[in-house]
Amino acid sequence: MRSRALRLAKPLVRRGYAVKLIMPPWQTPKEAGRDWQEEGVEITYTALNGGPVGIAQRLLRATMDWKPDVVHTFKPKAYSGLIAWWLWTFRRNRIRLVVDTDDWEGQGGWNDLAPYSPLQKRFFAWQERWGLNNNHALTVASRTLQSLAWANGASLHRVFYLPNGPGISDDAHQAIGMRRELGLNNRPVVLIYSRLFEFDTERLVTILRKVHSKIPDLAILLVGLGLFEEDAVTFLQELNAAGLQDALVEIGWVGEQELPHVLAAADAGIYLMEDTLLNRTKCPVKLADMLCVGLPAVAEDVGQVREYIIHQQTGLLYPPGDIDNLASGLADLLQDEKERIRLGQGARDHIRSHFSWEQLANIAERAYIGVEP
């Protein structure tokens, strides 16, 4: 919610809209019941007691008590999907319903990855299909989701392509100091900033081993945490088996204020994506974060990645699975400062020109007032 809904809400508040985010605090349950503001955006964390029925009723009550003109539900599944269903069924003539989808949830998507029960999988798949068609407007985070919505029967004039902008600011003036703090100094540094589930980590290790063979003093900066603990454990074991343990600089989770300086402390990033339906429908905020601080990235040409990276203009883009070219492209980039500066500036300019949240808010505003895409 912070990287999409809240980022979208802030420029809308600056335009004079009253915006409130209402959600259960699944990641921070101790904050249940909290109300506060961030840059004018009202935020409510509902209580988590009462089971699924109690939580759904509380979300709906908080929504209706605020008396909104427009409700934008983020994800067509689970609790937000239930709220969307109730609003469309009982209030569609009074409240404009906008549904947002930023992933594929059904078969080939999160249903294949997340540990849901068979009943949950069937219900979420039904919610997704229903939500794509029953709304006044649908915002989609990727071109693939746009195509899937149309294929599912959504009319052209209701589907708004609204990709993700970066989840951080582009202020990274402390990058040099951060290099010293992290002990990177003058070593060539490649950034791994990923949840690690989008690809086979053994393939990433193969690429890193090839780069290390050309650049023996390579530093591998690992930022963030794997979505699944076993992926992170496996990745570290594979690095050790490849003899890359001494190259690894692992710093884990980084706060939002510090993150731009950490990302910009690297010389180049690598972003892998298996060519799957789930990955094609994603709109990777982490890649946008890299590019917005001027970090050139070497990536696989899957889904939304090609919207962010234009080959040899904002980074280097190769077909998925092209290990040799990914490795050689990354090694060449790490050894060519002028090319890194050129691509990094192109990346920063591209994100600012096409993916700033101020611009993306224009798309949301059209969806809210009923202007066609």
Give the tokens for residue 340: 């890194």
- Full set of structural domains in the chain with CATH: 2-165+356-369 (3.40.50.2000), 175-354 (3.40.50.2000)
Residue 170, CA distances (Å) to 14, 184, 353 in order:
19, 21, 13
What is the reported pLDDT for 174? Answer: 72
Instruction: Write out residues in the chain with pLDDT < 70, as ranges.
Output: 172-173
CA angle 317, 319, 322 (to 5 degrees): 105
Token code pair at residue 368: 């809210």
Q: Give dist(CA 155, CA 134) in Å, integer.
A: 11
Q: In what order do the strands lie in the sheet with 137-140?
A: 70-74, 96-101, 137-140, 159-161
Strand partners, 270: 298
Tokens of 140: 């989609």
For residue 249, what are its two tokens? Answer: 């600089």
- Using only C-alpha atoms, what is the Rg of the chain? 21
**Phi, psi of 36, deg, nearest 5:** -160, 180
pLDDT at position 159 is 97
What pLDDT shows up at residue 19? 98
pLDDT at 213: 97
Q: pLDDT tens, 342-373? A: 999 999 999 999 999 999 999 999 999 988 87
Amino acid at 228: F
At 47 the pLDDT is: 95
336, 364 contact by CB (below 8 A) = no
CB 146 within 8 A of CB 130: no
Give the pLDDT of residue 256. 86
pTM reported for the whole predicted model: 0.94
Cα 270 from Cα 94, distance rounded (Å): 47
Beta strands in 34-179 (DSSP E): 35-38, 41-45, 70-74, 96-101, 137-140, 159-161
How far is it, in rounded angstroms, from Cα 265 to Cα 174?
A: 8
Q: 4: which residues sit within 8 A by CB, 6+ positions away?
A: 74, 100, 102, 141, 164, 285
pLDDT given at position 3 = 86
Closest CA to 226 of 257, 198, 260: 198
- 3-state class (DSSP) for residue 251: strand
Closest CA to 335 of 220, 190, 223: 190
Model confidence pLDDT, tens digit, residues 264-295:
999 999 999 999 999 999 999 999 999 999 99
